[in-house]
Amino acid sequence: MHPGAIARAVMEAGLDGIVVCDHNAADNAAAVGRAVGATHRTSIPGMEITTEEEVHVVAMLPDLASAGALHARVAAALPGQNVPDVLGWQVIANEHEEVLGFNQSRLAGATTWSLERTVDEIHRAGGLAVAAHVDRERFGLVGQLGFVPPGLRLDAVEVSAATPYRVGCEQYGQPLGLATVTGSDAHHPKDIGLSVTFLRMEDVTTPELLQAFRGEHGRSVLGGGRPMDELALHILDVALNSYEAGATSVEIAVLEEPEIDRLTIEIRDNGRGMDHETQARAVDPFFTTRQTRNVGLGLPLLRQAAEAAGGRLLVRSMPGAGTLVVADVQLSHVDRAPLGDLETTFMVLITSRPDVDLILAHRRGSDGYELSSADLAEALGGLPLTSPEGIALAREAIRRCETGLASHASDPPAAGRPGTTFKEPKHD
């Protein structure tokens, strides 16, 4: 996990930024910041502090000076010295993969700070205090204590990659009235980007993060999840390709047909389209026309996910006539990826490009809905879709539609059930 390896992994994962958190230390934050900054991404200095109750709390700090100050106070609160033969060498490195020294404190241990003091010390340093992997029994706030102390001034809670993001929100964030984030908690470069949080912010900074956590001034936590393991985030990546292809209209249809054991995803846009050669190369994981991100794996990974679940990927496109992407899978296949959180997909797409006419349709059996950005814009009466009111309306609409669809999931087919609508997607 030397700084250069982290920077390459951040770039390959297509991330805008990370929070780098050594356990009970910030020795490597500056070098990681320089390495990641050289790739035009951002690394926020942080620390994962272990309280005396053995609860992990993530500190997201505004700058290196604040990180250094908190690092010194944490070091003074860490009893004992490291035993390299047992716990390994605690390396301090630079961005050129050179070892500069070793941290001698016992970083694997707990500080003498209580949970409340830890949160206060993070705030004293100007940082944000986030309950780390709150869904985990070991070192998680709820698992360690069995409750959340009243009056604890957390800024957010984090759920691990093991818990679906929406489940984490419902079980932890919402009951506490706090924003929910997720992350990879990577201990190896290959795991960076395993789980991600999507945020609407002006820049990757802790003040912007705080506003997003609070939903202030148009900043917002849009959602999160595991990009390679959920079909909804495959849809997001392919639809973002449509945006980059200059599309002004994108239609997404998700069709669940249990009677024939199929799940079909259709994404249609009116972007610049592709010729036959480009279409053939578009499903090649080593080919991309993207300039804004280093990865262009939307179609190759969707193809892989479809074929792994007994399905296929079809791409039809013509220059100047847009693109149609169709992926179908066996609904009951043991290797089918979960559909995941369509709310996250819709929220990211609608706030990324509010000028694009976006239509999302989801059908399960005979029930379904259609939701369009144009209808939402009309309901806002002139307020922008990216305003706090617009974000709240979009979230409420998609959540209500998905909840209504889920409530009928076990019902027998019933044509014409009141309150459900679905426009059949176009087929060539």
Which residues have C-beta within 8 Å of that of residue 140, sequence separation ≥ 6?
Answer: 55, 56, 131, 132, 133, 134
Q: Is 21 exposed, middle or buried (0-12, 13-18, 19+ CB in 10 A)?
A: buried
* C-alpha–C-alpha distance, residues 221 and 211, integer Å: 9
Amino acid at site 389: E
Per-residue model confidence (pLDDT) at position 278: 82
- Give the pLDDT of residue 420: 39
Distance CA 392, CA 388 (A): 6
CA-to-CA separations, 164 to 135, 272, 341, in angstroms, rounded: 10, 35, 8
Parse the chain into domains and list their residue ranges.
Answer: 3-225, 231-407
Q: In terms of CATH architecture, what is 3-225?
A: Alpha-Beta Barrel (3.20)
**What are the tens digits of pLDDT across the range 49-106?**
999 999 999 999 999 999 999 999 999 999 989 999 998 999 999 999 899 999 999 9
Whether the domain at 3-225 and the domain at 231-407 fall into the same CATH topology: no
Q: Give the side-chain half-sphere CA count within 13 A for 321.
A: 8
286 band by pLDDT with thresholds 50, 70 and 90: low
pLDDT at res. 411: 46
The CATH number that domain 231-407 falls under is 3.30.565
For the stretch 172-201, pLDDT in tens is 999 999 999 999 999 999 999 999 999 999
